[in-house]
Structure 1
Amino acid sequence: MLLAPLMPYIDPSNPPTIFGVSGYSGAGTKTGENDEHGRPKTVPKISAQDLKGAIRPYALTDHIHEREASYRLSQLFSQPLNSPFQLAFVPNVAPWFSGIISVLSAPLKQSMRADEIWKLYEAKYANEPLVKIQKMVPDVTEAEGKHGWRVGGVQVHSSGKRVVVVGALDNLLKGAATQCMQNLNLVLGYDELAGIPKDAL
């Protein structure tokens, strides 16, 4: 979602980078000790205590999301590329429970202004009720417990040839359950937002 509006303006020979920081719920779970009924408990693979207040980088290259996103985004180019489109994704886990903040740094093939970039996001997501486009950099605490995605903080380097944009969402809602509801609704012929609270953002 961070890259899609920019794809016509991306230089495919100079890959963009996304630095993502997820709450520790995004690192998955493992089987813990048994409960009082003898059933195994599910506990986070990485806990806030494990992180000791810091963030921890992991899967620094070839993360599955890096490969998935590169493949899907390559389909947004108007003409086939000579070589596969590749983005760099650097995931990190943080000592909060839920919420992901992602910072995109994307080289551009032409000089652009921040207001031009802003208009690309407005045009792409204007009719998306679960997307909030804002001027300020979104904070992960604004996204926590919400069903939508926030994007903002658009800044262009002084050269005009590199843009930085920030997105935030709740990985357990918009990143998982809410997205699942949307997909099921569409497949089954229901309204896309059926079952999703009206105050989603």
Structure 2
Amino acid sequence: MVDQSLTVAVVGASGYTGGEVIRLLADHPNADLVFLSAERNAGAAVGAVHPWLRNHPGVAKEKFRPLAEMPEVDAAFCCLPTGKLPPVLDTVAGQAKSVFNLAGDFRLRDAGELRRHYPDSTDAGGEFAYYIPELSGGAPESRFVNLPGCMAVASIYALYPLFLDDLVEPHVVVDAKTGSSGSGKGSGEHPAERAGNFRVHKPHGHRHAPEISQAIAELTGVQPELQFSTYSLDTPRGILVSAYARLREDRQGLEVKRAFAKAYVGRPFLRLRSAPKKPQDFPMLKAVNGSNLAEVSVSVSGREIVTVAALDNLIKGAAGQAVQAFNLVHGLDEEAGLPRTAVGL
């Protein structure tokens, strides 16, 4: 582990994810937060744009600056909306030794899927590694790192052990429920339409579906037949994923539980909820929101399997996951600067 301080920039720091990256890095023992970019909010103080940071003694009065003023740094966290990084990637890459992208620009490898879901990213340069800290096997070799989508990574946690040990039939169904912050600050949905409501977001065609299939295939060698649907929750943050699979005829339920225990043992930010019996024993948002923890559980009845995963979309699904990757890439303590306790109420 290294003890030195690393200079860090946050590009696109005025959105929800950028604000959470600032919050985590402001108290990180090895991060020196030297540059925060925001074009429309250039000149504004952090505390004025992110009210939850206005009482932080270190960053509240720091000013957002245009990207053109970015200095040389050890690491850059890119929190721009999807499609906005490719045109400025050369600028960022020229100033940063390592680049962590939290948007979807460089997640998909299939050219057709890329054109369909990320049309503004098809001509983007850079050799980005798709990186899940717990599952990708050590730090990536590339200095360009793209983190998974929030609903995608929750779904991958729910499915990975099933396919790693070839326990289930290829067809799986996943439904993912997400809080309103997943739409970003630019969402056009009025709070009055979301409050007291629970509705379908996308029954088919969500851009995280090919990402999940790609990741499972690359991590396990098995290509799933995935039905992926998403729903909108009346809550600011948090994701709850339920996955439904069918056990192969030649496998046993006990093998499923062993597979999850083997896959996730020793992972500091993956908590397996083994043998849940009561509803409150299963993964839930109250247990993870505000933390970098993901909870996972599996329930088997005959050949029917239901797995559940819960995480905070802004922390474990975005900012926290990126800081975790930053720690691993730079030889720091994996847990440095990352909260393990949920905010509860």
| TM-score bracket relative to the smaller structure | 0.7 to 0.9
Q: Contact conserved, 2:201 with 2:231, CA < 8 A, in 1?
A: yes
Aligned residue for 2:308? 166
Counterpart secondary structure, 1:87: strand
Deviates more, 1:108-117 or 1:84-93: 108-117
Aligned residue for 1:93? 232
Aligned residue for 2:265? 126
Give unmatched runs, 5+ long, in structure 1. 31-43
C-alpha spacing 1:131/1:75, structure 2 compared with 1 (3 Å): same
Structure 1 segment 1-201 matched on structure 2, within 5 A:
1-7=157-163, 8-12=166-170, 15-30=171-186, 44-78=187-221, 85-110=224-249, 112=251, 114-134=253-273, 135=276, 136-152=281-297, 154-157=298-301, 160-197=302-339, 199=341
Equivalent pairs: percent with the same residue? 30
Q: C-alpha deviations, 1:50-92, integer Å up to 9, x for none?
A: 12411121222121111101011112445xx6xx533111111
| Aligned mates of 1:98, 1:144 — CA distance in 2 | 7
Q: Contact conserved, 1:100 with 1:169, CA < 8 A, in 2?
A: yes
| Aligned mates of 1:76, 1:29 — CA distance in 2 | 33
Aligned residue for 1:38? none
Structure 2 residue identity aligned to 1:103:
S
Counterpart secondary structure, 1:178: helix
| Aligned mates of 1:123, 1:192 — CA distance in 2 | 20
Q: Contact conserved, 2:209 with 2:228, CA < 8 A, in 1?
A: yes
Counterpart secondary structure, 2:175: strand
| Aligned mates of 1:199, 1:51 — CA distance in 2 | 27
Structure 1 residue identity aligned to 2:264:
Y
Structure 2 residue identity aligned to 1:75:
E
| Alignment length (residue pairs) | 179
C-alpha spacing 1:119/1:200, structure 2 compared with 1 (3 Å): farther
Q: C-alpha deviations, 1:158-190, integer Å up to 9, x for none?
A: xx2220011100101101111000111222222
* 1:200 positional shift: 7.2
Q: Contact conserved, 2:180 with 2:236, CA < 8 A, in 1?
A: yes
C-alpha spacing 1:137/1:198, structure 2 compared with 1 (3 Å): closer
TM-score when normalising by structure 1? 0.80
C-alpha spacing 1:77/1:146, structure 2 compared with 1 (3 Å): closer
Structure in which a larger fraction of residues adopt strand: 1
- Report the RMSD for the aligned CA atoms in angstroms: 2.2
Give unmatched runs, 5+ long, in structure 2. 1-156
* 1:113 positional shift: 5.0
TM-score when normalising by structure 2? 0.48
Structure 2 residue identity aligned to 1:190:
L
* 1:199 positional shift: 4.5
Counterpart secondary structure, 1:145: coil
| Aligned mates of 1:68, 1:140 — CA distance in 2 | 23
| Aligned mates of 1:69, 1:4 — CA distance in 2 | 10
Q: Contact conserved, 1:47 with 1:95, CA < 8 A, in 2?
A: no
Q: C-alpha deviations, 1:106-147, integer Å up to 9, x for none?
A: 122236555432221111001101111112211212111121
Counterpart secondary structure, 2:313: coil
